[in-house]
Amino acid sequence: MAIIDCPECTHKISDQSVSCTNCGFPTSKIKVLIKCPECSESISNQSVSCNNCGFPIVKPAPFKAVPPPLPTKNHTTIVRVNRSRKSKGVAALLALFLGGFGIHKFYLDQVFWGILYLLFCWTFIPAIVSLFEVIILLSMSQSEFNKRFG
């Protein structure tokens, strides 16, 4: 950062300011020699890259006089990650055909019940229970299903 003279009013300004604070002359029109940060070669501030080494010259971001507003409340907003929605039809079909093994329970993120169904699949009790669950799933409204398993 360097202090330069405005070509319009000769007021002292920063070379990184957007315009002269006295007359408003834009500093983008002022040509100043700066040193390349890579090879220290003198180049114009209007250059996009160094003529000697090709190092890109980054233009400083314009100064913003007003800082962004501060948050008024000191709390954290929790954003729920959009999980994949479960399908009522898929759950009913899994319960109908693979319910004896508890596959529909795994699909509905009820892992404990899925393991329990697997442990007792040889008794055919989970298969009978899953037939009742098919009826319950199909009679359940979509909004109730989403609320419960969504």
| The predicted structure's pLDDT at residue 114 | 95
Residue of higher predicted confidence among 105 and 85: 105
Q: What is the pLDDT of residues 2-27, one digit of tens each?
A: 677 776 777 787 777 777 777 777 76
pLDDT at residue 75 greater than cutoff 70: no
> Which residues are paired to 49 by β-bridges?
56
Residues 3 and 11: their CA atoms lie apart, in Å, by: 10
Residues 146, 85: contact at Cβ < 8 Å?
A: yes
Residue of higher predicted confidence among 107 and 62: 107
Residue of higher predicted confidence among 40 and 62: 40
pTM: 0.46
On the CB side of 86, CA atoms within 13 Å amount to 22
Q: What is the pLDDT of residues 89-148, one digit of tens each?
A: 999 999 999 999 999 999 999 999 999 999 999 999 999 999 999 999 999 999 899 899
Phi, psi of 58 (to 5 degrees): -90, 130
